[in-house]
Amino acid sequence: MPLTVAVVVGALSTDHKIGLVTVAALFVGFALISSLVLPRRNPDFPGKHLNLFIVVCVLFFLAMVSAVIVFGREPKEASAETSPTATAPVTTTATTSTAPTTTSGAATQGDPVAGKAVFASAGCGGCHTLKAANASGAVGPNLDSLKPEVDTVVHQVENGGGVMPAFKDQLTQKQIDDVAAFVYTSTH
């Protein structure tokens, strides 16, 4: 269970982590102050202000639940912001051995055979499950289940996210396109 929580939290963007931590810190701070500090200063706490105390507790609870709902969303929202035309070529060429993608405004093609070698050499299988690569990593998402589009794979490999490092400085654009083509053709 703790590994699952670490993976989920690790997959959140930095802004989402900051939002969750901020709301959680305020909630925990309120809980500690109202249970340890205020009763020592005023032994009758909350006394005649019980209704106000209950309202504040409920508001903090609702704020924490709302923060989990808002900030705990999967990064799918970020990948949905990519241009809608970037996914059109991918679906129209699903039967070919290469899948075009849009990166930096230019159409490029990847080689799935070369991408399998990149997948292995870059250590992708240590974190991801992908049957076509005989990989059974459990840190990152199961690519067989996720079935990501080419542009999503390219974006994730280039920029990283959560616990995944960015590979744009370690891999060439061709290698990135190749591994994206490999993942796409292996899962679709």
Q: Are 126 and 55 found together in one domain?
A: no
Q: Are 28 and 106 found together in one domain?
A: no
Query: Is the Cβ–Cβ distance between 99 and 181 less than 8 Å?
Result: yes
* Domain end position, chosen among 52, 73, 94: 73
* Lowest-confidence region among 32-36, 42-46, 69-73: 69-73
SS3 for 119? helix
Q: Are 60 and 113 found together in one domain?
A: no
- Residue 137: the pLDDT is 86
* Domain end position, chosen among 40, 56, 73: 73
Closest of 188, 96, 92 to residue 146, by C-alpha: 188
* Residue 60 identity (one-letter amino acid): F
Q: Are 68 and 87 found together in one domain?
A: no
Within the chain, residue ranges assigned H as helices are 2-11, 14-32, 38-41, 50-71, 76-80, 88-92, 112-121, 143-146, 150-159, 173-187
Mean pLDDT is highest, among 31-40, 82-91, 157-166, for 31-40
Query: Is the Cβ–Cβ distance between 10 and 17 less than 8 Å?
Result: no
Question: Which position has the higher pLDDT, 50 or 138?
Answer: 50
What are the pLDDT digits (tens) for 128-163?
A: 999 999 988 888 889 988 999 999 999 999 998 888
User: Is it the case that residue 88 has pLDDT exceeding 50?
Assistant: no
pTM surpassing 0.85?
A: no
Number of folded domains in the chain?
2
DSSP structure string for 84-103: GGGTHHHHHTTTSSS-EEEE
Whole-number Cα distances in Å, 109 to 96, 170, 175? 11, 19, 10
- Residue 53: the pLDDT is 93
* Domain end position, chosen among 26, 46, 73: 73
Q: What residue numbers bound the domain in which 61 lies?
A: 2-73
What are the pLDDT digits (tens) for 57-68?
A: 999 999 989 888
Q: Are 89 and 162 found together in one domain?
A: yes
Rounded Cα distance between 79 and 90, Å, is 15
Q: Kindly report whether the peptide bond that precedes residue 148 is cis, defined as omega within 30 degrees of 0.
A: no
User: CATH number, domain at 177?
Assistant: 1.10.760.10
Residue 118, classified by CB atoms within 10 Å of its CB into exposed (0-12), middle (13-18) or buried (19+), is buried
- Residue 8: the pLDDT is 54
Rounded Cα distance between 153 and 171, Å, is 14
Q: Are 107 and 133 found together in one domain?
A: yes
Q: Are 57 and 96 found together in one domain?
A: no
Q: Are 17 and 36 found together in one domain?
A: yes
